Structure 1
Amino acid sequence: MTDNVVDVERAKPVTLGGQVYAELCDRLIGGELPPGEKVSLRSLAEALGTSVMPVREAVSRLVADGALTVSPNRAISVPIMTLSAYQELTTVRMAIEGFAAERAALHRTPSDLTLIRRYDAAFRHQCVTETRDTAVAMRANRDFHFAVYAAAGLPSLMKIISGLWLKIGPLLNFDMRFSPERLSLGGAEAHHGRCLEAIIARDGPAARAAMTGDIAGTAAFIATSGQLHD
């Protein structure tokens, strides 16, 4: 698991099922489980080193969250999103995550800045290196975003954003997973850099603009990729 930033019941998962839920949330939010992927309870239990029971409990919660779906034959999978649903979620994300970035610029602490700089540097490295690792890039992108959102200092806001990313996460890194050149050409590095600069300068509107620009840029690529249909 990453060290801190994806806060979905991560603070104190009191049961094994809670720990498994947090791990699966982490994978969904990080884009490690793509749309349409089948989820095997037994395979997950083996991968996580636990029994099937806590995995079943965690999966049931994720189905209730809308992050996983169960077909009539009881097969469990990551939902395939429609274009209209994706566009709706993108609109909501731009409003909520833009607000979080704006507030982060006004309320960030020195430790917040340390984390944001760390993840920005990790993502930037993957954008410029010739031997890029898309899995590392996806984690760094996710961690940068959530470090910014955490800096807003509103735990309830983090829960809302985490809920959005549970649904959108499997698609968010489509451009990096299938088009690695997007790391150097897609503009995310520049948007992240502008967001960091705005947060350092405590410029809320600029931080919001950079974050919404990042979200909109990725959304435009995915919407025109031919992968989403109504």
Structure 2
Amino acid sequence: MDGAIGRIDRFERVTLGTRVYDALRSLLIAGELAPGERLSLRRVADQLGTSMMPVREAVSRLVADEALEVLPNRAVSVPLMDAAKFRELTRVRIAIEGFAVEEAALRCGPADLALIARHDAAFRCEALAPAPDLERAVRANKELHFAAYAAAGLPSLRAIIEGLWLRIGPVLNLDMRVSARRLAEGGAEAHHARLVAALRAGDATAARAALVADITGTAAFIEASGRLPP
């Protein structure tokens, strides 16, 4: 009996830690935590209704993923990213995410296209609105991209892309979260429209070109903002 109870307890702790990890991971990928932002482990635990132990477990995993860092004073924060690392990750994204949409153009079906179009419409609604909901725009942008990548039908590829966004997501979405300027000037809405059209036409070359234009346009805007340390 005691052995069985012990096994159940261990299983529950692991499950809860994983749930906290997934919740924080989703926030990072979606860019809902900013570079340099500090996390209160107590606040996370209170918000999720858990003890500190699964939060510490989740944070340790995210530190290993290079998505969070522990400062000398033991505070936990979202890492800052310098310009060189940002350019490196942008090049990797172009290669991997470009391949993903090429595959998606060859494989996606009506249900995939309907989902992608729905997220595209949600993003366009905010991009063209006089007073856009910036959080909604960030969310729609992320969902559109990942719906396209999922349409490639390659779960291993999606996992690789999630790993990239885990590190770069906070930087990608910082300007969009705090200012409507990037929505108005970044050109993402037009790139998304071309991507959706290419996917619908089954044109892998055009899909990759639209995705690359979106990534490079966003990267140029972020670098020009001066937010990345040299």
What amino acid maps onto 2:114 in structure 1? Answer: T
Name 1:20's counterpart in structure 2.
Answer: 20
Identity %: 62
Moved over 6 A (4+): none
Q: After superposition, give the CA deviation of every residue in 1:159-203 in whole Å (9 maximum; x if it has no partner).
A: 100000000000111231233122122100000000000000000
* Unpaired stretches in structure 2, ≥5 consecutive residues: 1-13
Q: One-letter code of the match for 2:27?
A: R
Q: How big is each residue's C-alpha offset from its partner over 1:109-167, in whole Å with a ceiling of 9 and x where there is no partner?
A: 22111110110010000011123100000000000000000001100001100000000
1:63-101 deviations in Å (ceiling 9; x for gaps): 000000011221110000010000000000011001101
Is 1:175–1:218's contact at 8 Å kept on the other side of the alignment?
no
- Number of equivalenced pairs: 217
1:227 Cα deviation after fit: 1.0
TM-score normalized by structure 2? 0.92
Shift of 1:27: 0.3
Matched AA of 2:49: G
**In the alignment, structure 1 residue 37 sits paired with structure 2 residue 42:** no
Distance 1:51 1:26 in 2: 20
CA-based RMSD? 1.0
CA distance in 2, matches of 1:174, 1:17: 27
Tell me which amino acid in the other structure corresponds to 2:74.
Answer: R
Rg larger in structure: 2
Q: Which protein is richer in helix relative to its size?
A: 2
| Deviation, structure 1 residue 47 | 1.4
Partner of 2:123: 123
Q: Specify every segment of 5 or more residues in structure 1 that has no aligned partner in the other structure, as ranges.
A: 1-13
Q: What is residue 169 of structure 2 aligned with on the other side?
A: 169
Distance 2:21 2:112 in 1: 26
Structure-1 separation of matches of 2:74 and 2:229: 24
Cα drift, residue 31 of structure 1: 0.7
Q: Give the partner amino acid of 2:186.
A: G
Specify the SS of the correspondent of 2:73.
Answer: coil
Question: What is the TM-score when the length of structure 1 is the normalising length?
Answer: 0.92
